[in-house]
Amino acid sequence: MIHRTDPARQAPWQVELAAAIRDPEALVRVLGLPDTLLAAAHRAHEHFPVRVPPAYLARIRPGDPEDPLLRQVLPLDLEEAPQPGFSRDPVGDLAAQVVPGVLHKYEGRVLLTATGACAIHCRYCFRRHFPYAKAHAARDHWAQATAHLATDPSIREVILSGGDPLTLHDDKLAGLMGALHALPHIKRLRLHTRVPVVIPSRVDDGLLGWLDEAPLAVAMVLHINHPREVDDAVVRACERLRAARVTLLNQAVLLAGVNDDAEVLAALSERVFEAGILPYYLHMLDRVEGAAHFAVDAARALGLLEILRARLPGYLVPRLVREETGAPAKVPVVAVGAGPGCR
């Protein structure tokens, strides 16, 4: 017998999550896009399905196939093209996994792949091929993950990623917080999420309750790639998060056809700061199979960064970084021959 959740008992954000578009034809039709996009969208959708929640859909310009928000979610034939140098595990996640769902790459911190679920499927996702069914930390009520954390007192920070950890219910997240509080060496919790951006109603009383009472310092790294992703609802959600003592940072991915433009990047830094979010990283694309058409070369990225440095105060200029398998931290992208002083 199948038990279905009563929609009347769901939180508004859960209703929005369930209402996400999951069919490429529906996405094309509702936005009034050319029918010529359909065949390609269906082919790419078979390998990595479409998911676009209503709040994000409403920010996409109808009838514009080049809209930078649409480009992040519309499947294209380019995803199926051969991609030398691109792989299914571009940053060595699987080699860094110490127990299911626990990645230990960097000293003093570990990352938990809390879930395989996301509120939106970004076409550049570097974990689009990750084996979540076998490797998510919440599967046993966090037992294996917290047991590993207990064995290593050098770990001071836990990073929740996924998927997206804020697709989990508040009680599941509160259970993890309680388990971490029992480990005195854990001082900080960091959440990497796109949910407050694509479904701002997720920042509700339930979420804010456990964040406000959190015994750990909490940082939230939002993934915002374009200034038009920040509407009034996102600003209000960020205000509520800051009132709950959450430090807000932004990690943008540098994406061809989305934000590889100095004007857009400057506007992005200004816009997120207006929402109380500090620009943190401008991340080079992780070279995942299916996303090569988003790649921006390092020389162009450095040129864009120099323009930002000339236009913006230093605190609004994100660090240009890439992730390299085996490196002890994110690697700054610098010009060939540049010394440490240029970093």
> What gap in Å lies between CA 115 and CA 119, rounded to an integer?
11
- Closest by CA position to 126, among listed 97, 95, 163, 166: 163
Residues of the binding site: 118, 122, 125
Report residue 146 as tokens: 């917290």
Q: CB–CB of 78/65 below 8 Å?
A: no
- Distances, alpha carbon 177 to alpha carbons 135, 146, 150, 181, 242, in Å: 20, 10, 14, 6, 19
Q: CB–CB of 218/246 below 8 Å?
A: yes
Q: CB–CB of 65/34 below 8 Å?
A: yes
Residues of the binding site for [4Fe-4S] cluster: 118, 122, 125
Phi, psi for residue 34 in degrees, rounded to 5: -60, 140
What is the DSSP code string of 145-197? HHHHHHT-TT--EEEEESS-GGGS-HHHHHHHHHHHHTSTT--EEEEEESHHH
Q: CB–CB of 41/76 below 8 Å?
A: yes
The DSSP 8-state label assigned to residue 324 in this structure reads: -
- Closest by CA position to 118, among listed 199, 37, 187, 177: 199
Report residue 152 as tokens: 């290593």
